[in-house]
Amino acid sequence: MPLLSIIIWLTILGGILVLFVGDQKCRPVALAISIAAFLFSLPLYFGFDTSTAQMQFTENVAWLPSFDINYALGVDGIAMPLILLTTFINIIVVVSAWEVIEDKPAMYLASFLIMTGFMVGVFAATDAILFYIFFEATLIPMFLIIGIWGGPRRVYATIKFFLYTFLGSVFMLVALIYLYSNADTFAISAFHDLPIEANAQTLIFLAFFIAFAVKIPMWPVHTWLPDAHVEAPTAGSAVLAAIMLKMGGYGFLRFSLPIVPDASQQLSWLMILLSLIAVVYIGFVALAQSDMKKLIAYSSISHMGFVTLGMFIVFGVLDDGQSSSHAIMGIEGAMVQMISHGFISAAMFLCVGVVYDRMHSRMISDYGGVVNTMPVFAAFMVFFAMSNAGLPGTSGFVGEFMVILASFKANFWFAFLAATTLILGAAYTLWMVKRVIFGEVANEKVAALTDINQREKFMLGVLAAMVLFFGLWPQPLVDVMHASIANLVQHVTVSKL
Amino acid sequence: MKLIYILTPLAPLFGAIAAGFFGKQLGRTNSHRVTIAGVAVAFLFSLIALFKNLGSDGAVFNETIYTWMISGDIKFEVGFLVDRLTVVMMTVVTSVSLMVHIYTIGYMHDDPGYQRFFSYISLFTFAMLMLVMANNFMQLFFGWEAVGLVSYLLIGFWYKKPTAIFANLKAFLVNRVGDFGFLLGIAAVVMYTGTLNYTEAFEAAPALQGETMELFPGAGWSVLTVMCICLFIGAMGKSAQIPLHVWLPDSMEGPTPISALIHAATMVTAGIFMVSRMSPLFEMSETALSFVLVIGALTALLMGLIGIVQNDIKRVVAYSTLSQLGYMTVALGASAYSAAIFHLMTHAFFKALLFLAAGSVIIGMHHEQDIRKMGGLKKYMPVTYWTSLIGSLALIGFPGFSGYFSKDAIIEAVHASQIPGAGFAYLCVLLGVFITAFYSFRMFFLVFHGEERMDTHTKEHLHESPGVVTVPLILLAIPSVILGAFTIGGMLFGDYFGDAIVVAPEHNVLAEVGSHYHGPLAFVLHGFKTPALYLALSGTLAAWFIYLHRPDIADWFATKFGFLHRLLENKYGFDDFNQKVFAGGSLNLADKLWNIGDVKLIDGAMVNGSANKIGLLSSFVRTVQSGFLYHYAFAMIIGLLAMLFVLSFTN
């Protein structure tokens, strides 16, 4: 059974179906499709062979044979968890929109379903052109979501979002075409084995870097993200943070590291530097925010610093010629951080959405003492805040812990700077919680708040369960990626020059 | 046995979950029943573990419960190490916790958050047990942060109080500074020994002697020293050592039962426990031990001094806790780990007693905490009075009481120690004895004796607290008196701890002290030949004379030595400094980075600046607003879809 195609096309065609069903009946249909897509993605996990780094569940159909472009899909241990995360978050997103979106709900839900199909395509594509098309295509539904259902400055935000990410990926296309001209195929695996000379490697690295650094995003090309988050509707923010950012991290793992390992090694100092700036500088910037969504957006950037740090300390860790154990831990930490951040950031944005729907304000100063009127919500908020601050026992801890352990091996000061997140992350997150949740009831609007309903309880509860599960037992997650990442580390140690 | 060890932490966790999630359905009575039952089970199992361990020559249980994760070649596991050090901690934690649970029925009787409170303290018991029972660094860190979380929740329990929610944020962040060091220490352990497991790490550690790392170019630092100091920074946060002590006095904003349980008896001693557990590592770094010794000595002396000028009953006890934690830390630095754990144990009981007694006074005084407005409570609250007296005597080290044995052992051990800083530390701990006696009895006399300074309304309603309050006081008073005499022989000078604590022969000060040891009675008599006893007595007498007979002396002192008095009242300016430099400085920096870095430079100059210049932005805005871009976007989607769809399903 072509599972990957089924997931991709079920959501995309399902999205179109939702458009035709109309605003009245669109919600149950969308929910059914999203659940079905998730169910179809489960066999990817349970049928996954953890002993091999080879692509699994592969599909291959010739598309444009003259350029050797194929409709080729497949997953390894790096892509598969991200696909499950995507289809899982999709359900939450549909639930979150239930009675909240009154304006063109069918179109709204359709956009999310179609976007899910594209994002699964990004992670499943094993052909570079197919990847590129999916990668670009995801922009369109997100562009519409922010542009139509967004806040007052949505036009500025969408253009910034579109220009940034579009410009970034143009460079990637050039790099892909250059690689094709040498490999005579667009199969990504062929690029992995292609010998490339030093200067070309550097140029290709920079091209990929621009595309993925914007996406994930890294400092200093990050400023589109807070604006996009602030203007996006709740579910848009959730998907943006939970999935779309991960496309950048995935890109580094799938393209930059294995295709141009020597350039990656040469420029790893730059990547580490930018990652640490993300952790420290952005951590401080988050502290200065007065808008909850902006604060969480900056927190996302800071957390993504751990992802890129974990990936690029690989070379520093391998330098001493000892075992690759810490290198593997670094990249696995980066992966765990991506998955975990998918749950936590989505939950944080949904939490803001919950109170925004009631108060129509994102400003921290408009709140205070929410716990008095919304105790159940407050419990969830404190839980997710603690996860965001990396409390052990939640999934937020696992990735950061692994990356800090691994980076200590590379350099004491890398670990030192990375570990400041323990203080900064707690400071900006819990200070926000203090001002929003605790204290006396701040004003009449807060006094009139009603606690979360069953639907909201469900969506936050499911996310909390995932955060707790992977915090208490991350092995099922790490286990599936182990073979692929060990293979990747093995691969990057071999020079291509 | 494995099942018993697993159930020990899980029983309170079950209680916490039941009271936390189903508190409304269970009701108040059932909520406290289920949580108390959980803790009672844990206490019972701890006793079983204790006696089994005593009976079997310290047979050690060290097993993995489940594999949390395997990454690289490193195993992350959840497992228990139950040796003689562990069983002491388990018993102390569960017994004090049980007392506090019972006491809470009375203390929180009218509080609307009754169930929530029980859920939190049971959750705390779970976390603390996970911490002390861990057999690896990761689980230790889990317990470490989990007790921090519960402490955060409990300090901010009365979430409407601005001071409470300030204090809990402060506590969490200051602890996080400690945890920052702790995490780096753990990373060092993993990097250099390749394992998180205690036993394996300790086995690998001796090979690291002489190995150096370059923190700054050109300067080699001993790996073990860096490792131990990083780990100790964690202990400084949790066990509130200077300069990370600032959170503990503020934590008194929480309800009194948790001040007793978390901020006196158990959680704050986690750092002491941790360093003792790591004794095989610390023994190999004299530099680290010296550092520990000096920090502890400073804390013991300076925090005791602040205790003299405090007027809030709970804060006096809090500063006394800080000072006593300093004593324990001094013991660690002098390699007298057993003495540290011994003092930890006796202190847990008499300090919990003092806090709960203070709580009883607070109930009687209708939540008045200022000791200047009390006085003469002796005749109204006899049980509280006598138990407080016992607690205070134990605290100042009155001969024969528990605290006497443990504190005297520490002083003697420091006296015998040869490591750098020991002379200074000895002076500090000796002076500390006088100060401890002085502030303890200053408070005692002001509260229970002398003129009745409360208003008439309060006076009319003064009465002894109910049984659920006084019974735990009595139960805690018993070990405060007798525990020391019964256990000193085995714990300090016998071979009680076995392999759980490792002391290098050249550091073994307790053996030296022990060579003069001939039973508890002789130890008491020996005390009459040492300065400590006379210092304690003179401190008590001074307090008696000044606060009951000549209060004008205190005022005279305060005006005559105004500078000193202000220094103490400002707590040496730590709070102001932190507030201005760290809190204020961070916010200032944050604001600058954001407004100048992100808004002006990146967005203003680079992004929008260049976009505006080429007119791109405005033309895009026009396109979007005319609606064309949407059409274009949709056309793109449809085209793409058609192309892909036809392809994937035709073949």
* Chain B CB contacts of A287 below 8 Å: 586-587, 590
In this structure, the dihedral spanned by the alpha carbons of residues A109, A110, A114 and A115, taken in order and rounded to 10 degrees, is: -40
CB atoms B637 and A431 under 8 Å: no
Instruction: Please name the residue of chain B whose CA is at the shortest distance from the CA of residue A485.
Output: B72
CB atoms B191 and A369 under 8 Å: no
- Give percent of chain B above pLDDT 70: 92
Q: Backbone phi, then psi, for B136, in 5-degree steps?
A: -155, 165
pLDDT tens for each residue of B437-449 = 999 999 999 999 9
CB atoms B68 and A473 under 8 Å: yes
Task: Tell me the CA distances in angstroms from A205 to A135, A210, B620, one per residue in order.
Answer: 18, 9, 30
Return the DSSP state at B518: -
- Residue B617's pLDDT band, with cuts at 50, 70 and 90, is low
Q: Is the pLDDT of residue B363 over 50?
A: yes
**Range with lowest mean pLDDT among A210-219, B204-213, B222-231:** B204-213
* B638 interface with A at CB cutoff 8 Å: no
B141, B153, B625: residue with CB nearest A392: B141
- Residue B570's pLDDT band, with cuts at 50, 70 and 90, is confident
Relative orientation angle of helices B402-416 and B337-364, to the nearest 10 degrees: 140
pLDDT at B454: 85
Give the distance between the most distant pair of CA atoms in chain A. Answer: 70
Q: Backbone phi, then psi, for B63, in 5-degree steps?
A: -140, 150
The one-letter amino acid at B320: S
Q: Is B562 exposed, middle or buried (0-12, 13-18, 19+ CB in 10 A)?
A: exposed
In this structure, the dihedral spanned by the alpha carbons of residues A82, A84, A86 and A91, taken in order and rounded to 10 degrees, is: -160
Return the DSSP state at B370: B
Return the DSSP state at B218: T
CB atoms B616 and A392 under 8 Å: no
* B172 interface with A at CB cutoff 8 Å: yes
Extract the residue ranges of chain A whose pLDDT is less than 70.
Answer: 319-323
- Give percent of chain A above pLDDT 90: 69
Among B17, B67, B68, B71, the residue to mutate for chain A (most A Cβ within 10 A): B71
* B59 interface with A at CB cutoff 8 Å: no
CB atoms A419 and B215 under 8 Å: no
CB proximity under 8 Å: B 613-632 to A: 616-617, 620-621, 624-625, 630
- Dist CA B238 CA B241 (whole Å): 8
B166, B180, B597: residue with CB nearest A420: B180
CA distance B242 to chain A (A): 18
CA distance A287 to chain B (A): 6
| CA A92 to chain CA mean position, Å | 15
CB proximity under 8 Å: B 225-264 to A: 226
CB proximity under 8 Å: B 532-591 to A: 586-587, 589-591
| CA B104 to chain CA mean position, Å | 20
SS3 content of chain B, % helix, strand, coil (to 5): 80, 5, 15
pLDDT, mean of residues B99-108: 89
pLDDT at B610: 61
Q: Which residue has the higher pLDDT, A244 or B613?
A: A244
CB atoms A159 and B621 under 8 Å: yes
pLDDT at B72: 81
Instruction: Please name the residue of chain B whose CA is at the shortest distance from the CA of residue A429.
Output: B169
Specify whether the CB–CB gap between B515 and B381 falls below 8 A. Answer: no
Predicted complex: ipTM over 0.90? yes
pLDDT at B651: 45
Q: Backbone phi, then psi, for A474, in 5-degree steps?
A: -80, -5
CA distance B62 to chain A (A): 20
Q: Is the pLDDT of residue B226 over 70?
A: yes
Specify whether the CB–CB gap between B79 and B63 falls below 8 A. Answer: yes
pLDDT, mean of residues B480-497: 84
* Chain A CB contacts of B166 below 8 Å: 434
Cβ atoms within 10 Å of B430's Cβ, excluding its own:
17
pLDDT at B643: 60
Q: Is the pLDDT of residue B632 over 60?
A: no
CA distance A183 to chain B (A): 23
Q: Is the pLDDT of residue B177 over 80?
A: yes
Task: Tell me the CA distances in angstroms from A484 to A191, A208, A255, A438, one per residue in order.
Answer: 17, 21, 14, 45
Q: Bridge-partner residues for A75, per DSSP?
A: A56
* Chain A CB contacts of B130 below 8 Å: none
Q: Which residue has the higher pLDDT, B327 or B583?
A: B327
